[in-house]
Amino acid sequence: MEDKQVMVLALDESDHSFYALDWILTHFFGSSSNNSFKLIIIHAKTSPVSVMGFGGPGSTDVLHLVETDLKKTAEKVISKAKDVCSSRSVTDVQYEVIDGDARNVLCDAVEQFHASILALGSHGYGAFKRAVLGSVSDYCCHHARCSVMIVKKQKPKQKP
């Protein structure tokens, strides 16, 4: 049995990520005999401090609540991903939740798992939003050490 190539898929809780998961499963994990990739699904759990900034009095309680909420989101994402994968009979999947900012987490994960492809969804922000909100797919495209696949949700084409 030859070594499988590793594909890392980044998931957050957005629809775009799950669309990407769907797309990848359809095109690359279609029939069970053709699995030339091992899929590793990664959810980056941001730290509550970065979400909140430095708060005033009472922030320690809020910090705790935010942390719990983030943990819950992570669990939801992973279990939903597990459901999608098992409904497509894709079994050779590894799930990871890693703390930190998505950009760094993903680029590090590529190194750690020796991935040959990093797959991500894309929010489809325009240039301005990208500059203001930042784009994980942009960052990964430039900095990841492997090939990067950006899966976009199809916008309905405007009929003239």
Partner 1 sequence: METESLGATAEQQPEVVEADNGGTMAEQQPFLEGKKMMNVLVAVDSDESLHALEWVLDKLLKYNGGATPQTAEQEHSKLVTIVYVIEPLPRYAFPGGYVVESASKTQEQNGVRILSRAFEMCRDKMVKVKTLILEGDPKDRICRAVDEMNFDLLVVGSRGLGQIKRAFLGSVSDYCAHHARCAVLVVKPPKKPY
Please give the C-alpha separations between residue 37 and each of 1, 58, 59, 89, 142, in angstroms, as whole numbers: 13, 48, 44, 14, 23
* Span 94-153, contacts to partner 1 by CB under 8 A: 116-117, 127, 137, 141-142, 144-153
Residue closer to partner 1, measured from CB, 66 or 81: 81
Largest interatomic CA distance in the chain:
59
Q: Are 41 and 106 in contact (CB under 8 A)?
A: no
Q: Does 160 bind partner 1 (CB under 8 A)?
A: no
* Span 12-31, contacts to partner 1 by CB under 8 A: 19, 22-23, 26-28, 30-31
Residue closer to partner 1, measured from CB, 20 or 74: 20
Q: Alpha-carbon distance 104 to 159, whole Å?
A: 40
Binding site for partner 1 (CB under 8 A): 5, 19, 22-23, 26-28, 30-31, 34, 36, 88, 116-117, 127, 137, 141-142, 144-157
